[in-house]
Amino acid sequence: MKINGKTKVCAIIGYPVDHSLSPVMHNAAFKDLGLNIVYVAFPVKTDMLKDAILGAKSFGLLGLNVTMPHKHSVIQYLDETESTTKSMGAVNTILNERGKLFGYNTDGKGAMIALQENHVDPEKKKMLLLGAGGAAKAIAFQAVQEKTELVILNRTQEKAKQLAKLLNKTFGTKVKGRSLLAEDLKEELETTDILVNATSVGMSPDVNASPVPAELIHSDLCVMDIVYNPLETKLLEDAKTAGATIVSGLEMLLYQGAVAFEIWTNCPAPVDVMKKAALSKLAEQGVRP
Ligand code: ATR
């Protein structure tokens, strides 16, 4: 690509950011569409966040992705944030439109598109969401907006209940929060259509761990994991063996990026190009397929 006086800049800010797949994914997409935009990674520590956002404004950056630990604290520095994103309290994408910064969260949308792309329509289906951290929250907020019947299970049950309460208060839903203990898991799974692991269980190096005993997985399930290192987690391996539909964590990552790309460029994202770029970066990082 040719960098010149008109080149626009997008960036990811967080700490650390050096392993992020977003730069390769977005740069491949910009190149594919012949857009004069580059995407870089800026490591920004907590005490520099305000300055970084002011800098993004003064340099006229086109857009930002925001990752840990700034997803919540960045909101106070933005001009406007989507109302549901504000209630959720986490922004992962910022658009700079004529000097005003707008905050969005594309994580949940990414997860829902990943399901749809695998021919699973979450509307009116029962989703069992494992985890109550940041990723689970983003998925839960989007799932209820797409009229999915949601049950949240978490190791720390109180956190599942708190997230359910926040959702019910925000959307008037009847989401339940329970523990991740075997009896709760077994009871809920019997009537579940979509199982989503939004915990870190199964992530490298604990590749033999799974949040769900293999014998509880049935063939009518769609199982999505947000973990993408390894690409096929123990949970997904067990689900595949049981004859269930599987959706890898890479798909959620890919589609959250695709939604951000579309917010910045107004162009449909070339997802195949982005996926290929992400896969080759993962291979470079030694991630097990
Ligand atoms: P993220 O932003 O990636 O969601 P997080 O906010 O730290 O990260 O959340 C991690 C999630 O994984 C939590 O739901 C956590 O459960 P607790 O709330 O009980 O801590 C879950 N988790 C992490 N390790 C786990 C384990 N060994 N077994 C079960 N759940 C685990």
The model's pLDDT over 38-90, given as tens digits with 9 standing for 90+, comes to 999 999 999 999 999 999 999 999 999 999 999 999 999 999 999 999 999 99
Q: How far is C-alpha 258 from the chain's CA centre? A: 11
Minimum-distance ligand 1 atom for the alpha carbon of 132: 14
Q: How far apart are CA 229 and CA 1, in angstroms?
A: 30
Return the residue whose CA atom lies nearest to atom 26 of ligand 1: 201
- The response to whether residue 136 sits with its C-beta less than 6 Å from ligand 1 reads yes
- Amino acid type, 250: L
Distance 16 CA to ligand 1 centre (A): 19
- Amino acid type, 210: S
Distance 102 CA to ligand 1 centre (A): 29
pLDDT value at residue 289: 66
Q: How far apart are CA 117 and CA 76, in angstroms?
A: 34
4 pLDDT more than 70: yes
Please identify which of the residues 31, 45, 71, 125 carries the catalytic annotation.
71
Supply the DSSP symbol for 258.
Answer: H
- The response to whether residue 135 sits with its C-beta less than 6 Å from ligand 1 reads yes
Q: How confident is the model at residue 191 (pLDDT cuts 50, 70, 90)?
A: very high
Distance 223 CA to ligand 1 centre (A): 18
Check if 71 is active-site: yes
Return the residue whose CA atom lies nearest to atom 3 of ligand 1: 135
Q: What is the DSSP string of 227-256?
A: --SSSS-HHHHHHHHTT-EEE-HHHHHHHH
Neighbours of 147 (CB within 10 A): 13
287 pLDDT more than 90: no
| Mean pLDDT over each residue of the chain, to the nearest integer | 96
pLDDT value at residue 286: 87
Pair 41, 22: CB distance under 8 Å: yes
- The response to whether residue 201 sits with its C-beta less than 6 Å from ligand 1 reads yes
Q: How far apart are CA 139 and CA 110, in angstroms?
A: 9
Distance 198 CA to ligand 1 centre (A): 8
- The response to whether residue 192 sits with its C-beta less than 6 Å from ligand 1 reads no
- The response to whether residue 252 sits with its C-beta less than 6 Å from ligand 1 reads no
157 pLDDT more than 70: yes
Q: How far apart are CA 173 and CA 175, in angstroms?
A: 6
Pair 173, 166: CB distance under 8 Å: no
Q: Number of helices and strands (H, E) in the chain?
A: 10, 12
Report pLDDT digits (tens) over 207-243: 999 999 999 999 999 999 999 999 999 999 999 999 9
Q: How far apart are CA 243 and CA 222, in angstroms?
A: 10
